[in-house]
């Protein structure tokens, strides 16, 4: 076998691997990205997970679900080390840990298509 044929075959194989890697790194959703989001807190310090996603805070944007989930898990691990497993914030320092423990990763497409709050939703009754 000719050395040029071996090199050419290796170059083609490397190119295919790079192409496959770029395709998987571009995101797993049709919209091309993932968001790490956390819910706002209610007046008594509980995460308001029933609110529309448009009301949730964006913590970060990621190319893949794996990257987003890894970041979320790291944040949750850190929160658990700081404040243990809590579901209600009693002071300023507990607010973000409570939020991140209720956080989630969503595709940018799901976030964009989430129902938007109505114009009257924020008006006191």
- Residue pLDDT, tens place only, 68-123: 999 999 999 999 999 888 899 999 999 999 999 999 999 998 887 766 544 333 33
Token pair recorded at residue 42: 């209610």
Closest CA to 76 of 105, 53, 50, 52: 105
Q: Residue 65: in which H helix or E strand, if any?
A: helix 65-83
Q: What is the pLDDT of residue 28?
A: 41
Task: Decide if 80 is inside a domain.
Answer: yes
Task: Decide if 33 is inside a domain.
Answer: yes
Output 108 or 13, whichever has higher pLDDT: 108
Asked if pLDDT for residue 63 goes beyond 70, the answer is yes
Closest CA to 101 of 125, 78, 70: 78
| Residues 25, 84: Cα–Cα separation, whole Å | 33
Please state the pTM of the whole predicted model.
Answer: 0.65
User: Total domain count for the chain?
Assistant: 1
Residue 80 domain boundaries:
27-113
């Amino acid at each position: 076998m000719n050395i040029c044929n071996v090199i050419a075959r290796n170059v083609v194989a490397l190119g295919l691997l790079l192409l496959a890697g770029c395709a998987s790194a571009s995101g797993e959703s049709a919209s091309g990205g993932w968001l790490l989001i956390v819910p706002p807190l209610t007046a008594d310090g509980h995460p308001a997970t029933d609110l529309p996603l448009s009301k949730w805070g964006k913590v970060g944007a990621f190319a893949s679900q794996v990257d987003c989930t890894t970041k979320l898990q790291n944040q949750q691990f850190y929160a658990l080390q700081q404040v243990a497993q809590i579901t209600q914030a009693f002071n300023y320092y507990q607010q973000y840990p409570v939020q991140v423990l209720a956080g989630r990763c969503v595709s940018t497409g799901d976030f964009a298509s989430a129902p938007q709050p109505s114009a009257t939703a924020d008006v006191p009754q």
